[in-house]
Each structure stands twice: as structure tokens, then as C-alpha cells.
Amino acid sequence: MRTAGRLAVACWLVLACAAGAPARGADLSELKVLYVGSERKSDYVEFLEGQVARVEARSRKAFRPEEARDFDVVLLDWPQGEETREMRTLRSPLGVRADWGRPTVLLGSAGLNLAVCWKLKGGSGCTCLDPLAYDLRDHEIFERPHRIDRGRMIAIPTPKDFRDDLEEPEIRVLPLVDDRETRRMPGWCTHALDFARYPDVEFFCGGVNSQTPTSAGLWRQGNLLHFGFQESPSEMNESGRRLLLNAIAYISRFTEDRPIAVTPSVFAGPVARSRSTPARWLRHGELRIDSIKDVVSPETWAEIEGEGDREAMARRADELARFLHPNADQILEVDPDLVALGVAFDDPAFFDRALAEMRSADPAVVGRAGRLLRRYAPEGPGGADADAWTRWRDENRPYLFASDAGDYRWYVDPLAKRRGVPSAELRGPSRADR
């Protein structure tokens, strides 16, 4: 490592140690909070008065992004309804994704609606979240500024929809309301199977829902914190209200981080499934074969179907998965260029092999390598200049990560690159402001 690199890392370590105290805005009583919405304005303002330094409200329809300039945290309340029925035409009340830098809590279905507009994580899931927090992780968001008492967790029978994944007859959950029998508008929970691959995403807890135990109810992407539970503060018990306050305090520290991946939502049009989907669905006995067949090309399905029973088909789908890629119709098919290269696009060896082929004496091999790099690394230099691609690879290697959530590409983690910290090491609370 060069001397400059050592100094950069040393400086970062000193700063990281010094950042043990909460960053700016972590003291709830000093925060200025803006509620953007209409339906529950008085409830949220009344709840936050006395808890924060200043709280104001703006109508969602009349809100202008520059009005958030003097506030530390914005609460976006944007429920589903007639206004959001045509999801393909939704426009964000917060303006353009690239221009929004304010730490924000997305209340209930605001997480879905904004994900559709801005192509965020969060655009795939279910409006089926009950006010029962599940799978609480060991994370500071449950400790401060208010400690969440896990002793208040209760055991309930394992929900029917969780039983494919869980063998235990009971699960432990934290009720966020006292009158659990009262039926309310359900919240928004997000499919979270791939969250671990995204450096800007944190999973805090799930919740009881009618899909899977792995779905997220409370989580963060960049400067956006998804509080999927739909209940208003006046409906919540002490645990629910404390969790909401902790969420506001926690996200206030994330003014530098931003959502990175561009993830189209299934609610806004056709989206390619992840490469693991065919095999996973084949192993889900209740899913009809026709549903699985529809997500892959006829040629790919012919290779899978010829294996016989569902488990054999699933194994073949696993073998093909590393070479799958969406076609123009967002249907998965085998990418012959990847097959020739011999590695999956998200394998770290992808760049090494493609760059080696770009220096081949065979023009066809060089052309194939160029296509692969442009297809799967659109932030790269483009063209077929092997030296330019090598410099880009070497400069960005510690900050690269891949996604196949409809996007099928590599991204550069800008926060990690700016701080000079490998993306694999810059996760969770360490991405807060320094």
C-alpha cells in the first residue's frame, strides 16, 4: 500500500473512533422535523411537540422541496388510495431523486409509492404488514434515544404464511399497539432477500405479514428510513412510539449517504426477476408451473423442463442462473456472451476475465468483452480501450457491488469511494455522517 493510502486509512480510522458519540442531529430534542402529508398532520405534530426542537407540517400536494431546507428530518406520509392507483404515473412530492438530500422517514405506504417513483429498493412487497415487529436485529436503533424493552415481546402461533420457512410452532413479536384485535389499514413490508448485498441498506426488523418472515418492516436505504408500520402515533403503544422516535433520531445522522441502486418496481411495469427466482419458485410447491415458465424465455424453459420432476428442474435452473440476463421484454434468458466468458456477471472474476479477453488478438473475442463490460458496468469508460477499462477497474475495485434486482449491473459506491473505505467495510451505522 502506498504511503498516501496508509495515511488515508489511518485518518479514517481516527475519525471512525472519534465518531463513537452520536453524530449531528442524533439528540432528538435538538431536531427540527417537517411532516409532509395531509391525512394525519395533527396527530404527528401533536405527538412530536415537546419531543423535538421544532415541528411543522406541509400539505403533500403543495409541498416544494426547498421548504425542507431548514429541517433536519422530513416525515413523508403518502398512503395508498385513489391518488396512487395509477402507479406508473406517480410523481414524487419530494421532487427529483438525485436532488433530494434530506434525511427522511417514509411512513407506511410512502415507502412503496416513493420506491415506484424513484426506482428505489422497496418497490416489491405487500400491503399486509401488521403492527407486530418481528426478527428484531441487534442494532442501536432499538437502544437510543429510547430503549425498546424486548421484555414486552410476546409469543404467537407461527403465521400460516411463515410456515414454509419456519419450523417453530411459535414466534416472538413486539406489539406496537395495545388493542391487537382492532383491524387497521395494513402497512407496507418489503421483500428483503437480497438486502445484504447493498452497502447502503440496513435491515432493522421485519413484521408479521401474509408473505414471508424475511420481509422488512423497518429498514434504511441511504438517507431514507422505511417505517412500514401504518399506525399513527395515537394508535401506537409506548413501544411503537419509542420506535418511531428512534427512527427519526437515527436517520437524522445520514445526510451524506444516498440510495445507490436503480431498482424498477413491479407495480410500474414489467421487471426482470432475479436469477434465483426460477429455482426458488420451482421449490415452492404451491406455485403453478405456468407462473414459473412465464419469467424465462422458451429456450431457457426447454432446458429446465427437460429435467423431469420439480427438484431436478430446480437444480438445472440453479446451474443456468449464473448466465441469465433479461431480454428486451424483461424475460430471463441465457446470455451467450457470459457463457463464453465462463463466469457470472456479478462474480469478482468477471472484470479480470473480460479485460484479459479485451487484449486478445481475436477481434471477435475483443468485441464480446467490450459488449459484456458495457452491458454490466455502464458506469465504466465505454468503448473497447483495454487500458481505460483497466484503470477504471483498478480505481473502483474496492467500491464495486452488483445487483440483479431488475437492473443486472455493477455499481460504484460513491460514499465509500469518497471516504476511501472499501464498500464491504462501510456498512450500517458506519455510513452515518462523520
Give tens-digit pLDDT for 351-364: 999 999 999 999 99
Is the distance from CB of 234 to CB of 187 less than 8 angstroms? no
pLDDT surpasses 80 at 287: no
Work out the pLDDT band at 145, boundaries 50, 70, 90: very high
My answer on whether 153 and 301 are in the same domain is no
**Omega into 169 within 30° of 0, i.e. cis?**
no
In sign, the C-alpha dihedral spanning 66, 412, 252, 38 is positive
> In 289-348, which residue ranges form alpha helices assigned H by DSSP?
289-293, 298-305, 310-321, 336-341
CA distance 181 to 144: 29
> In 55-121, which residue ranges form alpha helices assigned H by DSSP?
110-118
Is the distance from CB of 405 to CB of 194 less than 8 angstroms? yes
pLDDT surpasses 90 at 22: no
What pLDDT is attached to residue 307? Answer: 64
Rounded to the nearest 5°, which phi and psi values hold at 216?
Answer: -95, 135
pLDDT surpasses 60 at 2: no
What pLDDT is attached to residue 76? Answer: 98
267, part of any domain: no
C-alpha distance from residue 368 to each of 339, 357, 371 (Å): 11, 8, 5
My answer on whether 199 and 92 are in the same domain is yes
For residues 206-234, give the mean pLDDT. 97
**Which three three-digit cell numbers place residue 167?**
419450523
What pLDDT is attached to residue 1? Answer: 35
73, part of any domain: yes
For residues 306-331, give the mean pLDDT. 90
**What's the pTM?**
0.90
Q: Which of 221, 251, 281 is the last residue of a domain?
A: 251
- Which residues, listed in sequence order, are joined to residue 172 by a DSSP beta bridge? 155
- The whole domain housing 142 covers 6-251
CA distance 52 to 73: 11
Q: Per the structure, how many domains does the chain have?
A: 2
Question: In one letter, which amino acid is 125?
Answer: G
pLDDT surpasses 60 at 23: no
For residue 274, give the nearest of 367, 387, 404 by alpha carbon: 404
pLDDT surpasses 50 at 16: no
Work out the pLDDT band at 259, boundaries 50, 70, 90: very high
For residues 21-49, give the mean pLDDT. 85
Residue keyed to cell 421548504: 67
My answer on whether 243 and 389 are in the same domain is no
Question: In one letter, which amino acid is 289?
Answer: I
What pLDDT is attached to residue 429? Answer: 98
Question: In one letter, which amino acid is 124?
Answer: S
**Which three three-digit cell numbers place residue 293?**
415458465
CA distance 292 to 290: 5
For residues 109-121, give the mean pLDDT. 96
Q: Which of 181, 216, 251 is the last residue of a domain?
A: 251
My answer on whether 233 and 85 are in the same domain is yes
pLDDT surpasses 90 at 393: yes
Q: What is the mean pLDDT of the chain?
A: 91
Q: Which helix (H) or strand (E) holds 248?
A: helix 238-251
For residue 191, give the nearest of 165, 214, 173 by alpha carbon: 214
What pLDDT is attached to residue 19? Answer: 35
My answer on whether 317 and 190 are in the same domain is no
pLDDT surpasses 50 at 270: yes
**Model confidence pLDDT, tens digit, residues 418-433:** 999 999 999 999 999 9
258, part of any domain: no
What pLDDT is attached to residue 184? Answer: 83
My answer on whether 282 and 357 are in the same domain is yes
Pairing of strands 132-134, 201-207: antiparallel
Is the distance from CB of 27 to CB of 84 less than 8 angstroms? no
My answer on whether 324 and 359 are in the same domain is yes
For residue 259, give the nearest of 373, 125, 106, 375 by alpha carbon: 106
Lowest mean pLDDT among 46-50, 289-293, 321-325, 410-414: 289-293
For residues 199-205, give the mean pLDDT. 98
pLDDT surpasses 50 at 132: yes
106, part of any domain: yes
383, part of any domain: yes
**Model confidence pLDDT, tens digit, residues 341-391:** 999 999 999 999 999 999 999 999 999 999 999 999 999 999 889 999 999
**Which three three-digit cell numbers place residue 306?**
427437460
Question: Phi/psi zone of residue 59: left (φ > 0), alpha (ψ -120 to 50 degrees), beta?
Answer: beta
C-alpha distance from residue 21 to each of 12, 18, 255, 266 (Å): 16, 7, 17, 41
Work out the pLDDT band at 269, boundaries 50, 70, 90: confident
What pLDDT is attached to residue 5? Answer: 40
Q: Which of 220, 251, 282 is the last residue of a domain?
A: 251
Is the distance from CB of 52 to CB of 28 less than 8 angstroms? yes
